[in-house]
Amino acid sequence: MAAHVKPKALENFKARDFRMLIDGIWTEGAGDPIERIAPGHGIVVSRYPAGSKADAERAIAAARKAFDDGPWPSMTGAERSNILLKAADLIAARAEELAFLDCIESGKPISQAKGELGGAVDIWRYAAALARDLHGESYNTLGDGTLGVVLREAIGVVSIITPWNFPFLIVSQKLPFALAAGCTTVVKPSELTSGSTLVLGEILIEAGVPAGVVNIVTGTGPEVGAPMTTHPDVDMVSFTGSTGVGRLTMANAAQTLKKVSLELGGKNPQIVFPDADLDAFIDAAVFGAYFNAGECCNAGSRLILHKSIAAAVTARIAELAKKVKVGDPLDPATQVGAIITPQHLQKIGAYVEDATKAGASVALGGAALDLGLGQFMAPTILSGVQPDMAVAREEVFGPVLSVLTFETTEEAIRIANAIDYGLSAGVWSRDFDTCLTIGRKVRAGTVWMNTFMDGASELPFGGYRQSGLGRELGRHAVEDYTETKTLNMHIGARTSWWMPR
């Protein structure tokens, strides 16, 4: 592998300084700024304010006032839709800038970041359409004296907390739907990848979102995230991140019985039968394992292969994985970029080491790569993995593929379900009866059949069990940010309880 060199795009690069957005005003933090070191290049690329509890509380107060007294909740669906459509156009116009920020701050390949921006634009446009289609119900079948109307009203102030692995895409799976419903928001991006979300703040102001409707506070979870989940003026929390922090978020929100939407971890299986289109599967296996360097809740990190094909298929996956280009995130040809932090790289390596000590074999990779700058992990395949090993049950969140085997359909389903997660799964077979059997019995929010990690704005996304609560995307996503209210209307004279005798 060639030595890593500083790309021309960064030769005259100067770190970008950002400010927080509170009540329509860009503001500095009280403390020293957070400096983000690019995981693929080893240089400071961004500085954000280190927000405090007081900053979070000011943002919550601004969102509360904007919801209770401002124009946003009372706008027509068409008015909100038009603003969201303008935001989508502005995101598209600044896509290169946004993709560059996500690339250098997260270490993801620039080609992938650009693809994610295209997906995000589509989501904003889809949410804009739903703003005009949000409606309640009416019941005129309750008798001549009664008419029932069920309203959908914006839930209120929403705290949105997003992770570092898909900085712009994940905020786009939450924020436009909350805005479409008429909510006001406080957004906390990861302190590792805040840049593109702060640029989004500029875009939303230009699009016409009123002051206080979207507030963006940067900082750490304990300082900023915690008050966003406990404050009594927050009506709902939408969080994406680790299952451990998700549990803490839920416990915090329970103090005031807030509504909670959680998109958490996954340990997603791909179950492969001997009659599958193996050429298509092998490509999907490599993509599912190494997309975003495996730092993806949807990663296909568990292969459950029929025993009769396991050895040959594993060898073919290893041959294709050797061709995956690991390197400079700013190189358009790169397929696997840098690992988010040195500490996370060590954690990934520890999983591999523990698995080999437990009896698994390294079929490919297994170690960090020295490319001169930043931190990188070789695409790794572990064979001989048993269902009770940590690497088969826990979310590694790195480019590590675990290979398990099965003999019967029932055994495959049992292995797939024998973990705490249930985000997604895949099944590969030319027999559609087999696919439907797996699809109905595997406990996961999405089951792909003869494909993997496909998606569309129209399709709901979320998990079973410890993979989270609620669903993002799809037509019901906007409804997640609403409450239902029943109007029970009586027509004509009412019969008195105190009947005359």
Active site residue ranges: 263, 297
Nearest 10 degrees: CA dihedral of 158, 472, 481, 193?
20
CA neighbours within 13 Å on the CB side: how many for 347?
13
Are the C-beta atoms of 213 and 111 separated by less than 8 Å?
A: no
Backbone angles phi, psi at 119, to 5 degrees: -65, -40
Q: Residue 121: name the closest of 92, 101, 93, 97 by CA.
A: 92
Please list, in sequence order, all residues whose beta carbon lies within 8 angstroms of the beta carbon of residue 31, skipping any fewer than 6 positions away: 49, 50, 52
> Which tokens hold the place of 408?
């019967």
Nearest C-alpha neighbor of 159 from the set 184, 191, 137, 142: 184
Angle between helices 95-106 and 110-133 (to 10 degrees): 120
243: left (phi over 0), alpha (psi -120 to 50) or beta: alpha
Residue 418 near residue 444 (C-beta atoms within 8 A): no
- Which element (helix H / strand E) includes 413? helix 409-417
Residue corresponding to tokens 């905020």: 171
Amino acid of residue 317: I
